[in-house]
Amino acid sequence: MTFFAFIVTVMLHWNSIEWSRLTLALFAFIVALMMARLQTSPNAAEVLSTANNPLLAESALPYQFPPFDRVKNEHFASALERGMEEALKEVNEIANRSEAATFENTVVALERSGQLLSRVHRLFGNLAAAHTNPDIQKVEKEMAPKLAAHSDAILLDPRLFARVESLHEKPDRLGLDAESKRLLERYYLDFVRAGAKLSDADKEKLKGFNAELATLSTTFSQSVLKEVNASSILADDLSALKGLSEEAIKTAAAAAKADGKEGKYLLRLQNTTGQPSLATLEDRATRQKLFEASIVRGNRGGEFDNRSLVARMARLRAERAALLGYETHAAYQLAEQTAKTVAAVNKLLAELAPPAVANARREAADMQALIDREGGKFQLAPWDWAFYSEKVRRQRYAFDESELRPYFEMNSVLTEGVFYAAGKLYGLSFKERKDLPIYQEDVRVFEVFDADAEPLAVFIADLYARPSKRGGAWMNAYVPQAGLFNRKPVVANHQNVPKPPAGQPTLLTWDEVRTMFHEFGHALHGMFSNVRYPRFSGTTVPRDFVEYPSQVNEMWASWPEVLKNYAKHHQTGEPIPARLFEKVLAAEKFNQGFATTEYLAAALLDQAWHQLKADEVPADVLAFEAAALKRAGVAFAPVPPRYRTTYFSHIFSSGYSAGYYSYIWSEVLDADSVEWFKQNGGLTRANGDHFRRTLLSRGGSQEAMTLFRNFRGSDPDIRPLLKRRGLEVAPSEKAAF
């Protein structure tokens, strides 16, 4: 019995209820409510009190910065429940208004609703990814179907949709500005795509799909993280680790000690198929063991096996898409992207795959020749690729990746590289804040100031790997910018850089350096947001557009002025030798056959799963995967997909379903934009201000490709991407974007 139902019962029977009975009934209800909460949460009595749950009130810290030091695991469930209750109450008030719908009393009112739930859900979701624990994971599983049902309760409410639809029928008569008109259009589409026009019976069916998918997605995510942490390989002695750097060996020893295996060496896995240590491990048996531990994740039986989850999710997504009037889940997803259609995505991937695989085969031949010259007497295998490609690189370009790392000390890369470039390009300055609370000891916090010295945002840097953090690198917003609430942004970047033993410097690979610049591109997108409505804040743009600004920001990692400012030897302070970095640049296209093929294989797998109709979803996940790769022409054994199906978190738990192609699609825009910067003088305030004004500050308030044209002055050209990736084709065969 809900509190609302209880009050209604009392009011209906008021005249027949004696005061004593009313008091007893009220007391009994409160006791029952408290007991129910106590049964589901060990500290429910405490968190029922607003005063004892900091999540129930807006943070009083600067920028509404989350009070990490006061938040406890047990606060989340009750705060999420309260948030849903308040949001539904606010939405019901909108739906039940007697006056005719107006933009302010309906659409803007919806934008203002649910602030408690949004705030708590953002914080909870971000911590679940960045610093989870069993309690958070339990709440995550319990809340996933409830949150899905809550969303359905709003988007499938016929009263709300009727109000929005009545406004959508006459947008030109409402006197709206461009951003407001777009907001109305987006709300209408949100309702329609969520099933608002379905029959009542189909709405109930849709709710069931959404609730089950939410649970399965959470289960998949938690299973992948748990297996990554459980799948490390153990070496008994140093001979198995020959070739690893001294720092890497110390890290492996520390990991083994932390795992109760002192005197041994533990190599932890990352979420990708390929593992960084494969590039330097000399012992082939160790390389094979490490690779095989990676490739079998989620598909070898036991508690972490994700095969049945994948098949069920693919079927449910296909059934949901059909219910909503789309041929496949991919068609449903792509309708909201800049690509628009399945055909457009298939065309791009099909045009890129053949030259990519051809390049990979040439690279493999070079490595096989080297193996043969060394008397290896074996065929190149996936666990050999990184090791022998590095050997070929050293021979061809006369440098070793390990030569670079002493010049890429992490703090220098961040403050003298990433921040420096942002200062030169946009006039930003940064001040580290030690007074704001953090959720983990390695996290750093910076206040960001605009060119006029006015406060702009807060930036959180969470760069080290740990078992409580999911794999990969990403950006998120704890507080998204919104003019409607006079709110400035709080954004965070996350990476998974292995933490060295205490007292040792953190030296990055060139890939980790570029990733830091990349993720900060996302952060800039969030920090520069200057929109009125939260619906359009920062990175709330199509999935195949969101990676574009961040990929553009990677260009500054190798820009000469920026490079010389941060790439200094961590011991001597000497700048990176020009001749060494020239070799790095010369080698940029090296191994691009591998890099492009492993990426395209994953992107094609994503499309294969999500272009299925429900009755086409296979029972044998691995057989389907193998057939899909062969059919797409990317089944080249030495180059497996960057992610195999059973640990492909992007598409089964992180919002990229039918969208993993986005990186290469965005790279078309990125490569073309880099050409624009180079043609217009590079690292200048004028260029930065133009990029910020026309694109970075606009969030999702305009069509994505309109924003690109506003910045670039033309439609995108695919040729810069082909040149960058070493995939040029004859002029008569040039691909159109």
Residue type, 157: D
Q: What angle do CA 484, 490, 491 make, to 5 degrees?
A: 120
Tokens 């557009």 correspond to what residue? 545
Nearest alpha carbon to residue 544 among 493, 603, 482: 603
Which is it for strands 455-464 and 490-497: parallel, antiparallel or unpaired? Answer: parallel
Between the CA atoms of 524, 525, 526 and 530, what dihedral angle is there, to the nearest 10 degrees? Answer: 110
Q: Alpha-carbon distance 642 to 663, whole Å?
A: 13
Q: Give phi and psi for 493, each to the nearest 5.
A: -110, 140
Q: Alpha-carbon distance 544 to 340, whole Å?
A: 10
Per the rule left: phi > 0, alpha: psi between -120 and 50, beta: everything else, 325 is left
Nearest alpha carbon to residue 428 among 553, 548, 534, 540: 553
Question: Which residues are bridge partners to 482 per DSSP?
Answer: 487
| DSSP secondary structure of 271-313 | SSSS-GGGGT---HHHHHHHHHHHHTTTSSSSTT--HHHHHHH
Q: Alpha-carbon distance 338 to 666, whole Å?
A: 10
Q: Is 203 helix (H, G, I), strand (E, B) or coil?
A: helix
Q: Is 265 helix (H, G, I), strand (E, B) or coil?
A: strand
Determine contact, residues 160/92, Cβ cutoff 8 Å. no
Q: Alpha-carbon distance 193 to 325, whole Å?
A: 9
Q: How far apart are the first and last CA of the chain?
A: 57
Q: Which one is catalytic: 81, 512, 519, 547?
A: 519
Neighbours of 208 (CB within 10 A): 17
Secondary structure in 3-state letters for 33-84: HHHHHHHHCCCHHHHCCHHHCHHHCCCCCHHHCCCCCCCCCCHHHHHHHHHH
Between the CA atoms of 283, 289, 290 and 293, what dihedral angle is there, to the nearest 10 degrees? Answer: 180
Q: Kindly tell me the number of DSSP H helices and DSSP E strands found in the chain.
A: 30, 7
Residue type, 548: Y
Q: Give phi and psi for 13, each to the nearest 5.
A: -115, 25
Q: Active-site residue 247, yes or no?
A: no
Q: What is the largest CA-CA distance in the chain?
A: 99
Q: Alpha-carbon distance 247 to 266, whole Å?
A: 13
**Token pair of 591 as six digits:** 């191994």
Q: What angle do CA 258, 259, 262 make, to 5 degrees?
A: 75
Q: Using CA of residue 699, residue 705, residue 709, residue 712, what is the dihedral sign?
A: positive
Which letter does DSSP use for residue 17 in this model?
Answer: S
Q: Give phi and psi for 142, each to the nearest 5.
A: -70, -35
Determine contact, residues 163/106, Cβ cutoff 8 Å. yes
In sequence order, which residues have a C-beta less than 8 Å from that of residue 508 and are 6 or more positions away? Answer: 405, 408, 409, 410, 413, 497, 516
Q: Alpha-carbon distance 437 to 291, whole Å?
A: 39
Provide the annotated active-site residues.
Answer: 519
